A and B are shown apart, each in its own frame.
Chain A
């Protein structure tokens, strides 16, 4: 039996590591043609990149890089806007603005640039938000603002492009075992505190976020648009 994703074209920004990498791998396993982006010069610069994906070097903070990505893609069924970052200096204005550029402005720009291709295939977009789309993370105001902004953008684009058959949704991962959360996982005190806040009492696995992204991109979700799905082991309930 061939899967729904067989032969489909998929672009995963930041698909070299963490959640994005597993998304790329799950699409590849279904027979999709997957392109990933990363900031490093060559894909070999990453420890363990997904095998079989095409690679484009692009730092999405910059409009030129976004234009470059769009120029490389000639057919598209699924766009996963996964690339994102936070920093320790988000109360510095230039850093704040750069993070908004990477996490929010780049998503808008890339989505608009690729919308004509998605319209042709009646494809869909899945944005990777965060629990910060809904809650305050006080040490990272730019990350929080960008991810909350992404939620609003998901709703606006979902409404705007519905008539083109292009669906737009968001996943909101909680605490997932990736490089971004390595610090907390190596600090037993902090980890204990965090686990107390999660009804399921464990870290999420990147594969558990990836599977939700694949669902939202699939025909099983064909009547879902403008929505967000939390993958957080129940964290936001408390």
Chain B
């Protein structure tokens, strides 16, 4: 029987990419897994890298505070909240204030709203929150001011909530992936020259796969990390070492 048997895990953005890899990891460990995505139904993810078999799927735009407020996946105890949903805009669109605000709503304000919404359920289970940050939590990314600001904000939000919620037994941590092969980063890895240029910079010599991030997320949510809170774990093949 898995280490998460009888436990409940919610993964936002759990329909594809890193979020889906994490969701599958928890499912394999016996958890009841609830995932959210932006599409209307689980069937709409056919043909993507997402595998939603065995999970409860809910449509949720986490950047919409009203939608977060009425979101009701039916949990009273939550052992882990993994906030993986995020967006990015390319071609300098993030320099437009309205688009900047929209990215911040999904990547930072939404995660805070989710943390507050599930605070009591997390406290009831002595559960933990794992935010999916980025190497952009620590440094600028020249074309993505909103993405960088939101991920930098998630880092200090992680630290602040760890302080604020520690007394309730809730741990709060962040994973900071480097470049990972997912829908969001296709613009880089689908381009052979860009991929080769990136891989040359990574000490381990390859870009990350969603499963490379799922293991660390699972670890941070598990009992093995029960004295770890407020920390960030960089998973980038040594890029920032």
Chain A residues proximal to chain B, CB less than 8 Å:
155, 158-159, 162-163, 165, 167, 174, 199-201, 204-205, 208-209, 211-212, 214-215, 218-227, 229-234, 236-238
Contact = CB atoms under 8 A, between A and B. Distances in A.
B216 A224 contact: yes
B229 A221 contact: no
Contacts of B240: 226
A160 to B, nearest CB: 8
8 contacts: A155-B241, A159-B241, A162-B237, A208-B226, A220-B215, A222-B215, A233-B166, A238-B163
Contacts of B219: 212, 215, 220-221
Contacts of A238: 163
Nearest to B214: A220
B19 to A, nearest CB: 17
Interface stretch (B53-61, B79-87, B103-111, B201-209): B201-209
A29 to B, nearest CB: 13
Nearest to A213: B224
Given A227-B234, A234-B230, 18 more contacts: A162-B204, A167-B204, A174-B227, A200-B227, A200-B229, A204-B227, A205-B227, A212-B224, A215-B216, A224-B233, A227-B241, A230-B231, A231-B227, A232-B231, A234-B162, A234-B163, A234-B229, A237-B230
Contacts of A231: 225, 227-228
A232 B212 CA distance: 24
B200 to A, nearest CB: 11
B225 A211 contact: yes
Interface in B187-213: 202-205, 208-209, 212-213
Interface in B12-57: none
B229 to A, nearest CB: 4
A158 to B, nearest CB: 4
Contacts of B94: none
A199 B168 CA distance: 10
B241 A226 contact: yes
The 8 A-B pairs with the shortest beta carbon distances in the complex, nearest first, are: A226-B241, A220-B215, A162-B203, A199-B166, A211-B224, A223-B212, A208-B227, A225-B238
